[in-house]
Structure 1
Amino acid sequence: MKKFLYTFLILATIILWSSCRKDFVTVASSGQLQFSKDTVYLDTIFTNIGSSTYNLKVYNRSDDDIHIPTIQLGEGESSKYRLNVDGIAGRTFQDIELLANDSLFIFVETTLDINDFASGNQFLYTDAIEFDTGNNQQKVELVTLVQDAVFLFPQQFNDGTIETLLLGVDDEGNETRIEGFFLEDSELNWTNEKPYVIYGYAAVGQNKILTIEAGARVHFHADSGLIVGNLGSLQVNGMLSTTEELENEVIFESDRLEPGFANVPGQWGTIWLTDGSTNNNINYATIKNASVGILTENSDGTTNPTLTLNNSKIYNSSTAGLLARTGFVEANNSVFGSAGQSSLYLNLGGKYTFRHCTFANYWNNSFRVFPAVLLDNYLDLGNGTVLTEDLVQADFSNCIIDGLNGVELFLDKHDDTTTMFEYNFTNCLLKFDDFNNRFSNNELYNFTNDMIFDDVLRVTNSTTIEFKDTSKDEFIIGETSVAIGIGNTPNMPPAIQSDILGNPRTNPSDVGAYNHITFDD
């Protein structure tokens, strides 16, 4: 009992002493703070759209517990920046404690209106986080570029619902809708004066033409995209650029402009050329970081392709670069880069011509089962129902098909012998390493049949193709590549007389979208 009382008295004394002690003593900082960076760049944002949240770490490297007398924005309460210091939001802070050899986080964000600044389509806004005053003052600069933009989005109704587009009706009569809107006549000409930012799906209506001029920049929010409806048309009029800025190309990408999102796949939906859209032409365009770069369905029943694609690049798609279902496509000098499934998927038949194209799937974000190029003529609808269509034509000439997998071409013909499955590869370079002889007895891969595989060079090692940098989807070939001079392009049509960079071709030509170059060391 005495032992218990003795222990109790000791604990009571400790508790009483603790409750009466003063807060620990700190000394004022002396201008010796250290920072994780001397300038916080908030990257480019669009007007009136909030930035991402950026962080700055502040270090007390001394052995003393200190307090920082003031932390504030240089422009004070009128600053366009917002801070959060150790969980407290504001623009001015007093006596922030920081223990010896410890650190604290400061989070920074902003929302800017281009109309608050001088005239022009972009403005550089700066301020600084100031630590203390007088001789002890230290600063960390804040820099943001704000751009004006044209924002296109669906209407929000009084009841809080948002405008949608009708995609169709299922067998039970239930409507399938997607958040989106039809472009007005005044919205059908996109220029290079300002970027375009799309929320939801922007739709081109019947007998309407969306024209996108050279140098335009189109940014899609998450789950957004572009739809070309029945009898509608898309005309992308990009031109050859002369600098690395790609000043004349039309670029389709996400509205996340931070460097950390530059190569994140699946940030937006797709460019959807629906059944009945007609005479779609895409020239000198880059389509990146989509779920599906281009989805095209069914031909319009005429002799003209539903989609003509020239001198364009589609890469870093989370599913497929170009997905065509019973499509009618002609592509020249174009690059179909990395995708989570296939760079090119020709599904449910159709009619296709590819000249001097590069299909190269170096996807490394996850395990990939599908080949770079996949052709089939059927669609399994489930419950034992299979839909088949004729593959009337799939011609590949002077193309490269390559990737990280051993076999990068898969031909999948339905057992229905009445359905056409016509394909041809001429003067192509093909990654096809059938190391386990899986395809040796499959008549679809009879590489000795020059009526189907004419002058096709099979490779088992991608290093012999020698691309510039597959991790960046840079599929220019080098000066020792086996792709040099194995093409055959007599009487070249205008679309392929030069490569995608405007360099003239000779005959015999290099295969793929690019002529070879000498890489810089």
Structure 2
Amino acid sequence: MRHITLLFLAGILLSFCSCRSDFETVASTGDLTFSKDTVYLDTVFTNLSSSTYTLKVYNHSKNDINIPTIKFNKGLNSKYRMSVDGAQGNQGKLFENVTLLAKDSLYIFIETTVETDNATPTEFLYTDQIEFDGGANLQKVELVTLVQDAILLYPNRNADGTTETLPIGNEKKNGFYLDKNDPIHGNELHFTNKKAYVIYGYAAVPEGETVTFDPGARVYFHANSGLIVSKKASIHINGSTSVTDKLENEVIFSSDRQQPDFAYVPGQWGTIWLQEGSVNNTIQNLTLKNATVGLLIEGNDGATVSIKNTQVYNCTHYGIQAKNGLIKGENIVINYTGEASLACTYGGNYKFTHCTFNNNWSSPGQVAVFISNYSTAATPETKDLTQATFNNCIIYGSYSNELFLSKKTGATFEYQFNNCLIKSNNTKDPLYQFDTDPVHYNTITLNKDPKFFNPNINNFNIDNTSSAFAKGNSTYLIPLDILGNTRTLPPDLGAYQNKPFPK
């Protein structure tokens, strides 16, 4: 009997559902609400598709409604396209008779591919509106996109249809050599500040050539892209001090994902790789963000890599990774890296002055500075670390030990820290005798908070309440800080001269 009752109820329910093959809707009354009044698609590069942005549309009424039309104000000529709950409509531009149930919502996904010619000449903005219904019930959501003109650099297609590749390590990846006589772009080895550059794949500097970046150059890398400086080739990054927060004279390397949600996401592109045998490399006033490894510097055959006034942020593995490198660094700031902000491995020769090496990565395995004289992946396994000197530097972060020294027998291991603020609790290890080893440590400020302004957004300014305030030694003075401010005596530790924090 119980089974018969259940079957009878199921039959009634099925009969009710089958009678309602279509929802009974009422016309839209212009009372839709939206997750945003304006959708900003952020910066896109000319002729490149944007990321996908979301708009949510709500029906708060008790009725299922019918929206007669959802369309762009510019109609089928709009440079925007959308899908409505997965439907593509007419060319992604026009949707008719869209049903929205009571107390429900629908998703609209929006993209654009636009040229600078379509934008307003003075503001470089491309705008449109999504229109819901019409007449007295018309509702609108604004769309705004900043369009940036760009030079696109990418691998060519070979005659057999395959993509041009470069040997990278033991494998081949999509890549190409920069050409100083390119028929389309002219000198690809000279990056100016006239237009932005977007690089697909790995761009390589040919042997014997120099790639130059003017002040204000902007280079954006797509996923799995980077820059390689080959043997006997050089890189000259010639940024200079900016006078505004727009960093107008800074050279910037970043991901081509320009929307705010990706501003602090590591690993969006590859690396800047100074290969073994590259020469005469100079880097000044560079900001590099969101790479896998920021700067990868291999043995330089006695040629010093000069790095000044440089910031490296949000890298999956390392900010600067040197393998038997030769580096002189001044006013460098690195933060938020998955393994080490600065890694000086497999020996080499390094001197850093007035640098801030911090690491606020969330896992406890990261460090700010890692130094070793060996590599398990190389032959021979050890090489001499002839110098690793840090003067007036800050080595800090979210972990209890932000300095990691790793020494193997078979090669020298020379290191020295002078007037540095260091976070470490390894005081029982013979490599970390901060107070009793004057050969390796002089005037160390241990485990004191430097009180950075906001390391979570990579702001490492300090004020006069910082433990780094006036703790430097004038013997190692770099007269100007990373922003071009004059240092006072005695100088502060790290890359920044103190100033009052904004209120």
- TM-score (norm. length: structure 2): 0.93
Amino acid in the other structure paired with 1:456: I
1:401 aligns with 2:395: yes
2:485 equivalent among 500, 503, 518: 503
Superposed displacement of residue 24, structure 1: 3.8
Classify 1:368/1:279 alpha carbon distance in 2 versus 1 (closer, same or farther; 3 Å).
Answer: farther
Classify 1:20/1:297 alpha carbon distance in 2 versus 1 (closer, same or farther; 3 Å).
Answer: closer
Match of 2:415 in 1: 423
1:211 aligns with 2:212: yes
1:181 aligns with 2:171: no
Classify 1:14/1:64 alpha carbon distance in 2 versus 1 (closer, same or farther; 3 Å).
Answer: closer
Match of 2:101 in 1: 99
Superposed displacement of residue 107, structure 1: 1.4
Q: What does the per-residue CA deviation read over 1:193-216, in whole Å, with 9 as the maximum and x for residues that have no partner?
A: 111101111111111010100001
Match of 2:156 in 1: 155
Classify 1:37/1:164 alpha carbon distance in 2 versus 1 (closer, same or farther; 3 Å).
Answer: same
Amino acid in the other structure paired with 2:94: T
- TM-score (norm. length: structure 1): 0.90
Superposed displacement of residue 234, structure 1: 0.4
| Preserved contact between residue 434 and residue 444 of structure 2 (Cα < 8 Å) | no
Amino acid in the other structure paired with 2:155: P
Aligned counterparts of 1:71 and 1:519: Cα–Cα separation in 2:
49
Aligned counterparts of 2:390 and 2:481: Cα–Cα separation in 1:
16
1:480 aligns with 2:474: no
Classify 1:154/1:440 alpha carbon distance in 2 versus 1 (closer, same or farther; 3 Å).
Answer: same
Aligned counterparts of 1:11 and 1:112: Cα–Cα separation in 2:
54
Classify 1:26/1:441 alpha carbon distance in 2 versus 1 (closer, same or farther; 3 Å).
Answer: closer
Larger Rg: 1
Aligned counterparts of 1:488 and 1:325: Cα–Cα separation in 2:
29
Classify 1:205/1:96 alpha carbon distance in 2 versus 1 (closer, same or farther; 3 Å).
Answer: same
| Preserved contact between residue 476 and residue 517 of structure 1 (Cα < 8 Å) | yes
Match of 2:324 in 1: 326
Match of 1:70 in 2: 69
Match of 2:347 in 1: 349
Classify 1:11/1:208 alpha carbon distance in 2 versus 1 (closer, same or farther; 3 Å).
Answer: closer
Classify 1:65/1:349 alpha carbon distance in 2 versus 1 (closer, same or farther; 3 Å).
Answer: same
Q: What does the per-residue CA deviation read over 1:468-510, in whole Å, with 9 as the maximum and x for residues that have no partner?
A: 0011111111221111111112384xxx211111111233111
Amino acid in the other structure paired with 1:513: A
Classify 1:188/1:11 alpha carbon distance in 2 versus 1 (closer, same or farther; 3 Å).
Answer: closer
2:430 equivalent among 432, 436, 442: 442
Aligned counterparts of 1:465 and 1:351: Cα–Cα separation in 2:
28
Q: Secondary structure at the match of 1:215?
A: coil
Aligned counterparts of 1:83 and 1:179: Cα–Cα separation in 2:
31
Superposed displacement of residue 59, structure 1: 1.2
Aligned counterparts of 2:457 and 2:11: Cα–Cα separation in 1:
67
Q: What does the per-residue CA deviation read over 1:327-350, in whole Å, with 9 as the maximum and x for residues that have no partner?
A: 000000111222111111100100
1:379 aligns with 2:371: no
Amino acid in the other structure paired with 2:102: A
Classify 1:17/1:346 alpha carbon distance in 2 versus 1 (closer, same or farther; 3 Å).
Answer: closer
Classify 1:20/1:400 alpha carbon distance in 2 versus 1 (closer, same or farther; 3 Å).
Answer: closer
Aligned counterparts of 2:367 and 2:85: Cα–Cα separation in 1:
49
Match of 1:358 in 2: 356
| Preserved contact between residue 391 and residue 476 of structure 2 (Cα < 8 Å) | no
Show the 5 A alignment for 1:13-412.
19-20=18-19, 23-89=22-88, 90-117=92-119, 123-167=124-168, 176-185=171-180, 186-301=187-302, 304-305=303-304, 307-364=305-362, 367-381=363-377, 387-412=381-406
Superposed displacement of residue 449, structure 1: 2.0
Aligned counterparts of 2:9 and 2:471: Cα–Cα separation in 1:
91
Aligned counterparts of 2:370 and 2:502: Cα–Cα separation in 1:
34
Q: Secondary structure at the match of 1:135?
A: helix
1:520 aligns with 2:487: no
Match of 2:184 in 1: none
| Preserved contact between residue 341 and residue 368 of structure 1 (Cα < 8 Å) | no
Aligned counterparts of 2:295 and 2:484: Cα–Cα separation in 1:
24
| Preserved contact between residue 336 and residue 360 of structure 1 (Cα < 8 Å) | yes
Amino acid in the other structure paired with 1:105: Y
Give the number of aligned pairs. Answer: 494
Deviates more, 1:266-275 or 1:154-163: 154-163
Aligned counterparts of 2:71 and 2:351: Cα–Cα separation in 1:
62
Q: Secondary structure at the match of 2:336?
A: coil
Amino acid in the other structure paired with 2:375: L
Deviates more, 1:100-109 or 1:277-286: 100-109
Identity of counterpart residues, as a percentage? Answer: 49
Q: Secondary structure at the match of 2:261?
A: helix
| Preserved contact between residue 294 and residue 320 of structure 2 (Cα < 8 Å) | yes
RMSD, aligned CA: 2.2
| Preserved contact between residue 490 and residue 507 of structure 1 (Cα < 8 Å) | no
| Preserved contact between residue 252 and residue 288 of structure 2 (Cα < 8 Å) | yes
- Structure 1: gaps of 5 or more residues: 169-174
Q: Secondary structure at the match of 1:471?
A: helix
Superposed displacement of residue 113, structure 1: 2.2
| Preserved contact between residue 182 and residue 203 of structure 1 (Cα < 8 Å) | yes
Deviates more, 1:96-105 or 1:221-230: 96-105
Q: What does the per-residue CA deviation read over 1:205-257, in whole Å, with 9 as the maximum and x for residues that have no partner?
A: 11101010000111011111110001111000100011111111000100000
Q: Secondary structure at the match of 1:161?
A: coil
Q: Secondary structure at the match of 1:270?
A: strand
Q: Secondary structure at the match of 2:124?
A: strand
| Segments of 4+ moved more than 3 angstroms | 3-24, 115-120, 443-447
Aligned counterparts of 1:415 and 1:146: Cα–Cα separation in 2:
57
Superposed displacement of residue 46, structure 1: 0.8
Classify 1:5/1:104 alpha carbon distance in 2 versus 1 (closer, same or farther; 3 Å).
Answer: closer
